Amino acid sequence: MSRTHFIPRVVFTLVASFSTMASFAADTLPRNSDEPLAMLGSQLYFDKNLSINRNQSCATCHNPAKGFVDDRDNGVNGMASLGSDGKSIGDRNAPTAAYAAFTPVFHLKKGEYVGGMFHDGRANTLADQAAGPPLNPAEMGLTSKQLFVDRIKENPAYVIAFQKEFGAKILADSEKAYEAMSQAIMAFEQTDLFMPFDSKYDRYLRGEVKLSQEEELGKTLFFSEQFTNCNECHQLSRSPIYNKETFTNYQYRNIGVPENVELRQKNGVAGKDFGLLNNPAVDEATAKGKFKVPSLRNIAVTGPYMHNGVFQNLTTVIHFYDKYNNPNRKLNPETGRAWAAPEVVENLDLATLEKGPALDERRVNALVAFLKTLTDKRYESQIK
C-alpha cells in the first residue's frame, strides 16, 4: 500500500469526525431507540436503585409521562425537586430533558456564552450532566462511585450489558464504570422518545393540520420583530424551512425574574442565585443574574416556570414580559400584588425587553394559544 493512499484516508477520517462534532446536534439525531447502548441507558434512566434510598431515578425528576419534568408537588407546588433523602428541596426547577440533546456544548461566540447543560451551563454534554445527580447528596445521593458499581452488580442483566458495551473488565474500575453509565444515559436521551417533533406546530409545518385563527395570530406575534421580542431569544434558526426549531438561541440573559420567596422559606436557601456567574468557567461581572434561555417545546405542560419556578402559569409569564412595555400591567396576576423586583438587578436586558408595544388581552391569549401548539402529541391531553 503506498503512502499517498494512506495520507488522504487520515485526512478524511479527521474531517469526518470533526464535521460530526460540529453538526452533531441537529443532523445526527435522533438515535435509534433499539441501539444496545441506548437500551442500557433507558434501564439506567428509570432505575431507582441508583439512588441511596432506592426511591428515585432520573425519571422521578424528568418524567417522560409529563414532558420530562418533575411533576411531583414536593410540598412546594412543584417549584423545585425533592432529593432521595426526602428532605432536601432544591433551589431550581427541573428543566425538561426533552430536546436537551440539541444543546450545544458550553462555548463563547462573539462575546456571548452559549450552550451547556443546567440553567447555568456548567455541564458540557448530556453525559457530563448525567454524571451529576447519582452522587449529588441533594438528589440521588449515592456516596461513592464504588457504591454505584455495587448496585449495578446486583443485577446480572446489567453486568452482561455493561461488559458487552464497554468490555469484560469495565466493572472492575469504578471511575470507568461510572463514566460508562453517563455515556449510556446520554445515548438514551438522544433517542426519538426525547424528540418526537410531532406537536401541532410541527404537524402544521408539514402541512398536516391548520392552526386556529388565534394560534395563527400568536405565531405571527411570536416571530414578528415589530409586535414582540420573543424571537430575539427564543428562536434558533431564522430559516423559514427549518424543521427542528427548539425555541431557544441557547444564550444567557437576565430577564428580571424575582426571587422565589415562598420556595426559599421552605428550602432555607439564603443569598441570591447569580445564574451564569455560578458556572465555574465564568467570572465576568456581566454574567451575574443571567440564565440560559430555555426551550419552549412542551412549555404548556411543564410549569411552573423560570429557573426557580416562581410563576405557575403561562399567562403570568406573558404578563411578566408585557410589564416592561405596558403601564397597565402593574400586578402579578398570581399574587394580586405589584411585581416583585428582579432577584439580580445588574445586567437586566432592558434593551431587548423594552422593545415592542404593549399587548392587549387578545394578544396575550393568542401568544398562550401559540405556545400550546408546541406540545408533543402524547401530552396534548394534559394541556389546561
Q: To the nearest whole angstrom, how small is the minimum distance from the Cβ of residue 140 to ligand HEC?
A: 5
- Which of 67, 78, 95, 141 touches ligand HEC by CB under 6 A? 95
CB 176 within 8 A of CB 168: no
By the rule CB under 6 A, 179 interacts with ligand HEC: no
With beta carbons less than 8 A apart as the criterion, state whether 201 and 213 touch: no
Binding string, 39-78, against ligand HEC, x = CB under 6 A?
A: -----------------x-x-xxx-------x--------
* In the complex, least distance from residue 17 CB atom to ligand HEC, rounded to whole angstroms: 24
Among 79, 98, 127, 185, binds ligand HEC (CB under 6 A): 185
Quick check: 140 and 50 in contact, CB under 8 A?
Answer: yes
| 375: contact with ligand HEC by CB under 6 A | no
Residue 131 beta carbon to ligand HEC: minimum distance, rounded to whole angstroms? 8
**Per rule CB under 6 A, is residue 294 in the interface with ligand HEC?**
yes
Examine residue 372 and tell whether it contacts ligand HEC (CB under 6 A): no
Shortest spacing between CB 1 and ligand HEC, in angstroms: 45
CB of 382 to ligand HEC, least distance (A): 15
Query: Of residues 145, 307, 323, 372, which one binds ligand HEC by CB under 6 A?
Result: 307
The residue behind cell 408546541 is: 374
Q: Contacts for 331-337 with beta carbons within 8 Å, 24 or more apart?
A: none
Using CB under 6 A as the binding rule, whether residue 219 contacts ligand HEC is answered as no
Q: Contact letters (x/-) for ligand HEC, 133-162, by CB under 6 A?
A: xx----xx----------------------
Residue 234 lies near ligand HEC (rule: CB under 6 A): yes
Q: Which amino acid, 268?
A: G
User: What sign does the CA torsion over 151, 154, 155, 158 have?
Assistant: positive
Contacts 24+ apart (CB under 8 A), 322-329: 322/358, 322/359, 322/364, 324/256, 324/350, 324/353, 324/354, 325/354, 325/355, 325/356, 325/357, 325/358, 325/359, 326/358, 326/359, 327/358, 328/358, 329/358
Q: Single out the residue of 264, 224, 300 nearest to residue 67, CA to CA.
A: 300
Cα angle value 204/359/231 (rounded, 5°): 50
Contact 63, 56 (CB under 8 A): no
Q: CB 251: neighbour CB atoms within 10 A?
A: 18
Residues that bind ligand HEC (CB under 6 A): 56, 58, 60-62, 70, 81, 83, 90, 92, 94-95, 97, 100, 103, 117-119, 126, 129-130, 133-134, 139-140, 185, 228-230, 232-234, 253, 255, 257, 291, 293-294, 296, 299, 302, 305-307, 314, 317-318, 321, 349, 352-353, 367
